[in-house]
Amino acid sequence: MKNKPHLDEEALAELRDVMEGEFKLLIQTFISDSLERIASLKAALNAGDANAFCNMVHSLKGSSINIGAPRLGTICQAAEMAGKAQELNQASILLIAIETEFQIVSDRLRALLI
């Protein structure tokens, strides 16, 4: 899980190329959406709703992969599988890993905008 990079520089370069002036908006959107999702993931775990957890972490996985954060995507996928298997303990451990990784990713993405 640690072998993937925090950020895929090449993918980000292409995104910047495609998005042109809207690159900044994209990064901001990703960060604020993901923060919301992480909060919802916590709520789902507290409620013991594995199904809702699965769906939300699946979405976070998709947008992480698209934004060029492959390591975050990989952790999300592991969390999705844990959720599917109803292993809520494992899921809550992975959610902490998601938060940590997201912190790193969002710091680095913000740095790209300066």
Partner 1 sequence: MEEPAADNYSLKVLIADDSNSDRLILKTLLIRLGHDVVEASDGLEAIARFEDSTPDIVLLDALMPRMDGMETARQIKVLAGERMVPVIFLTSLSDTDALARCLEAGGDGFLSKPYNRLMIKAQVHAFNRMRLMHQTLTEQRDLIGERNRQLMEEQEVAKRVFDNVAHTGCLDAANIRYHASPLSIFNGDVLFASPRPAGGMLVFIGDFTGHGLPAAIGAMPVAEIFYGMASKGFDGADILKEINQKLKRILPSSMFCCGAMIEADFKLNQLLLWNGGLPDGWLIRASGEREILPSRHLPLGIRSADQFDAEMDVISAIPGDRLLMMTDGVLESRNSGNDLFGETGIARALDAGGRQQHPFDAVMGGIRRFTGLQGGNDDLTLLCLEMVDEAGFATLSDRSIPSALPGPAEWHCIYELREHTLNTFSPLPLLLHICMEVPGLRRKSGEVYTLLTELYSNALEHGVLNLPTEWKRTPEGFERYYQERERRLRQVDGHFIRFGLYHSLQSTGGRLRIICEDSGTGFDFQSHLACAVDGSPTTARNYGGRGLLLLKRLSKSLVFHNQGNCVEIVYDWHSSEISSNLVESQS
Q: Does 65 bind partner 1 (CB under 8 A)?
A: yes
| Stretch of residues binding partner 1 (CB under 8 A), selected from 41-49, 65-73, 90-98, 100-108 | 65-73
Report, in this order, helix, strand and coil percent for the chain, each rounded to 5.
Answer: 85, 0, 15
Count of other CB atoms within 10 angstroms of residue 55? 14
Tell the smallest beta-carbon distance from residue 98 to partner 1 (Å): 15
Tell the smallest beta-carbon distance from residue 38 to partner 1 (Å): 14
Confirm if 51 and 25 have CB atoms less than 8 A apart.
Answer: no
DSSP code at position 68: T
Confirm if 26 and 113 have CB atoms less than 8 A apart.
Answer: no
Tell the smallest beta-carbon distance from residue 95 to partner 1 (Å): 18
Write each residue from 9 to 48 as x if it is in contact with partner 1 (CB under 8 A), else as -, in one continuous string.
--x--xx-xxx--x--xx--xx--x---------------
DSSP code at position 25: H
Question: What residue ranges bind partner 1 (CB under 8 A)?
Answer: 11, 14-15, 17-19, 22, 25-26, 29-30, 33, 55, 58-59, 61-63, 65-68, 73
